[in-house]
Amino acid sequence: MLQYLKKYRLYCLLAPLFMLGEIAMDMWQPAMMAIIVDKGVLGGNIDLIWEMGIWMLLLVIFGGTCGILCGVFASIAAQNFGNDVRKDLFSRIMNFSFQQTDQFTTGSLITRITNDVSRVEQMVMMSVRSVVRCTVMFFGGIYMLYLQSPRFALVAACGLPVIAAFVIFFLRKVSPLFTIIQQKLDQINCIVQENIAGARVVKAYVKEAQALALFSKANDQLCIVNLRAQTALAFLNPCVNIVLNICTVVVLYIGGITIQTDGNITPGQVMASITYLSMILMRIIFMANIFQTFTRSSASWKRIREVLETKPAQKSGTYVSEKGHQGEIEFRNVSFSYPDAPDNPVLKNVSFQIEPGQTVAVIGSTGSGKSSLVHLIPRFYDTTGGEVLVDGINVRDYPMEVLRDKIGIVQQKSELFSRSIEENITWGTPNADPEEIRRAARLAQAEDFIQNTPNGYQTHVTESGHSLSGGQKQRISIARAMLKRPEILILDDAASALDLKTEAALQASFNRELEGTTKLIVAQRVASVKNADKILVLDDGQLSARGTHEELLKTSPVYGEICRSQIKQEVNAS
């Protein structure tokens, strides 16, 4: 953390320095007032009163300026610190392998880069401002009080531990309650979310009353815990105040007695002492607040550091090829398992070869390893055994950019960005000319619906494409991959939301326009794979059969079963 702050050390030093100025002025005031009362009023010296008044006014202006400057430097330091951390975090995440993003989970990475960074930023801000302010006022107050009278300082010394005990006691009591409150809140949100999302089912089964009863119960629980926490907190202020008030009364009493007996204390000093006393005792509460912020932010900083200290898992290769467009793929004894389940291989000893320009389909039931298989080609994941070769070279030997430039992959779940449709299509090829973009859209069977949107290619896609249907999103993703003119085009179940007519047209356009491109199509429907040059049948991570549709119908029982379940009556009907 210091390493990030080093750049801004000047600001980090200036801020507390000016803060000291502000505090010094604050501390001086009661002492000067004591002089006004004791020497000016009681001594009958008007000139002294005005002189002191003007001095105090100057102090106020000086102190205020110091305070503002402290804020300026503190925010410059904290914001720039946050900025640097944020940039480093993002840059680090952009170098992660998918395995690493999976491990951290997307949601957690997002919170780290947003909430955690601002929390740490706040902590830095607080450190250079409040911590210094608090400590100095605390000890300065004690010192000033001691100057007025050591006895008063003793009163403060008695009050301090009591207040501290109260604060600690209540915070201990309340903090766990807030965790429970959060859980109850989550529970309520969950119920609401489910009932809104499942409104049709709730209504269809006439379950409104039951849902309300369930909600009321959760709601009551939340209210009870909330009430407990707030009631506990309601005790904190009065408890602290009662100590503070008792101390005040004691100071007054001691002051009175002292003046009565030996008289080496003046009324002005008693007044100033009361001001200092509250100054000291109030700090305890501020310190508790600071402490809480610190605990929370140090957890945040830990989460940030986890990301910063994670080294990119995949090494980029250095192989430079002179050969141009090819598109040959080979799997040699490839095995693969996800790191969280090393004993449960997703792919077992898979070998096959695809010639440039071929159309190859991969079929199999859910969980058979189809997606994992194609993810190995652009190195979304690395094999755990065997090797994947593209154009005869192991994918690990290519520089990552070179490898991924060769491949256009369209994923099962379309990922769209909240930009215009055109920018979504040109995502990988920002400099494409309009004619090219149109061609890609046409090939992806997307042109018709794009032209029917209000602003055509300039229509803005809302957040993650909510404004588009599943099929439309898939077609935009396909156009994006087509625009790249890749050597290898991979469709990972990417046409599942298209109706069959559109899918057929899409395949026709592939065959017509992408003759030189190797096409690898993962699909669930037999109709989508029937006309491929070669079909790979995956069953439980193993390549159980390969061949054309006709061959497989004869040889592969797994393929036969898949076909039968989909086309069972075709034979009967015809």
Partner 1 sequence: MRNGLRVQLRRPSTMGQAIEKPKNTRGTLNKLLRHFVQSKGLLLGLMAAVFLETLTSLISPSLQGQVIDSIKDRSWQWFQILLICLLISFSLNVLFTLSQGILAARLSQNIVGRMRCDLFEKLNHLPIPYLDRHSNGDLMSRMTNDIENISSTISQSLGSLISGGLTVLGTIAIMFWYCWQLTLITLITVILTAIITQWMSKKMRSAYRNRADALGALNGHAEEMITNYRSVAAYNCQERTREEFNTLSDQLTKEGIRAEILGGSMGPIMNGISNLGFVIVAAFGGYFALKGLITIGVISAFIIYAKQFSRPLNELAQLYGSVQTAMAGAERVFALIDQPDEDKNGTEILESMKGEISFRHVNFSYESGKPVLSDFNLEVKAGQKIALVGATGSGKTTIVNLLMRFYPIDSGGIYIDGKNIMNLNRDWLRHNTAIVLQDTVLFSDTIAANIKYANPNARDEEMEQAAVMSNCAPFIRRLKRGYQTVLKQAGASLSHGQRQLLNIARAILANPKILILDEATSSVDSRTEQSIQDALVKLMKNRTSLIIAHRLSTIQDADIIVVMDQGHIVETGNHSELLKKQGAYYTLYMAQFAGEQT
7 scored as a contact of partner 1 (CB under 8 A)? no
DSSP 429-454: -TT--HHHHHHHHHHTT-HHHHHHST
Q: How far is CA 140 from the centre of its chain?
A: 41
335 scored as a contact of partner 1 (CB under 8 A)? no
240 scored as a contact of partner 1 (CB under 8 A)? yes
Residues 270-329 that bind partner 1 (CB under 8 A): 270-271, 274-275, 277-278, 282, 285, 288-289, 292-293
Point out which span in 137-145, 326-334, 398-406, 436-444 binds partner 1 (CB under 8 A): 398-406
168 scored as a contact of partner 1 (CB under 8 A)? no
Residues 21-40 that bind partner 1 (CB under 8 A): 22, 25-26, 29, 32-33, 36-37, 40
344 scored as a contact of partner 1 (CB under 8 A)? no
- From the CB of 149, what's the least distance to partner 1, in Å? 13
Among 9, 291, 415, 458, which residue interacts with partner 1 (rule: CB under 8 A)? Answer: 415
234 scored as a contact of partner 1 (CB under 8 A)? yes
Looking at beta carbons only, is 345 or 378 nearer to partner 1? 378
- From the CB of 1, what's the least distance to partner 1, in Å? 18
DSSP 64-91: HHHHHHHHHHHHHHHHHHHHHHHHHHHH
Among 143, 192, 302, 325, which residue interacts with partner 1 (rule: CB under 8 A)? Answer: 192
Give the position of tokens 């707030």: 230
- From the CB of 256, what's the least distance to partner 1, in Å? 5
Q: How far is CA 529 from the centre of its chain?
A: 40
Point out which span in 63-71, 149-157, 343-351, 439-447 binds partner 1 (CB under 8 A): 63-71
Looking at beta carbons only, is 218 or 332 nearer to partner 1? 218
- From the CB of 81, what's the least distance to partner 1, in Å? 10
Point out which span in 150-158, 411-419, 432-440, 445-453 binds partner 1 (CB under 8 A): 411-419
Residues 42-61 that bind partner 1 (CB under 8 A): 42, 44, 46, 49-50, 52-53, 56-57, 59-61
8 scored as a contact of partner 1 (CB under 8 A)? no
Q: For residue 435, with 0-12 CB atoms within 10 Å meaning exposed, 13-18 middle and 19 or more buried, which class applies?
A: exposed
CB crowding 418-427: b at 16 or more within 10 Å, else e = eebbbebbbb
Strand duo 518-523 + 488-492: pairing: parallel
Among 179, 183, 237, 353, which residue interacts with partner 1 (rule: CB under 8 A)? Answer: 237
227 scored as a contact of partner 1 (CB under 8 A)? yes
The rounded distance, in Å, linking the Cα atoms of 66 and 535 is 76
The rounded distance, in Å, linking the Cα atoms of 197 and 203 is 12
- From the CB of 186, what's the least distance to partner 1, in Å? 10
The rounded distance, in Å, linking the Cα atoms of 425 and 510 is 17
- From the CB of 464, what's the least distance to partner 1, in Å? 7
CB crowding 265-284: b at 16 or more within 10 Å, else e = bbebbbbbbbbbbbbbbbbb
207 scored as a contact of partner 1 (CB under 8 A)? yes
Edge-first strand listing for the sheet containing 488-492: 407-410, 488-492, 518-523, 359-363, 534-539, 542-547
3-state helix, strand, coil split of the chain in percent (to 5) is 65, 10, 25
Point out which span in 143-151, 301-309, 320-328, 403-411 binds partner 1 (CB under 8 A): 403-411
Half-sphere exposure for 447 (CA within 13 Å, toward CB): 12
Among 303, 404, 473, 475, which residue interacts with partner 1 (rule: CB under 8 A)? Answer: 404
Cα dihedral 318/324/325/327 (nearest 10) = -40
158 scored as a contact of partner 1 (CB under 8 A)? no
- From the CB of 445, what's the least distance to partner 1, in Å? 12
Of 85, 8, 5, 81, give the one whose Cα is nearest residue 304: 85
Among 20, 72, 147, 180, which residue interacts with partner 1 (rule: CB under 8 A)? Answer: 72
- 434 Cβ contact partners less than 8 Å away, ≥ 6 residues apart: none
414 and 131 in contact (C-beta within 8 Å)? no
Among 4, 20, 31, 98, which residue interacts with partner 1 (rule: CB under 8 A)? Answer: 98
525 scored as a contact of partner 1 (CB under 8 A)? yes
The rounded distance, in Å, linking the Cα atoms of 219 and 522 is 47
- From the CB of 322, what's the least distance to partner 1, in Å? 20
Point out which span in 233-241, 340-348, 383-391, 442-450 binds partner 1 (CB under 8 A): 233-241
Among 95, 298, 316, 384, which residue interacts with partner 1 (rule: CB under 8 A)? Answer: 95
Q: How many residues bind partner 1 (CB under 8 A)?
A: 180
The rounded distance, in Å, linking the Cα atoms of 381 and 319 is 19
The rounded distance, in Å, linking the Cα atoms of 110 and 500 is 38
The rounded distance, in Å, linking the Cα atoms of 348 and 341 is 14
Looking at beta carbons only, is 79 or 332 nearer to partner 1? 79
Residues 423-482 that bind partner 1 (CB under 8 A): 427-428, 430, 463-464, 466, 469, 471, 480
Among 14, 123, 156, 416, which residue interacts with partner 1 (rule: CB under 8 A)? Answer: 416
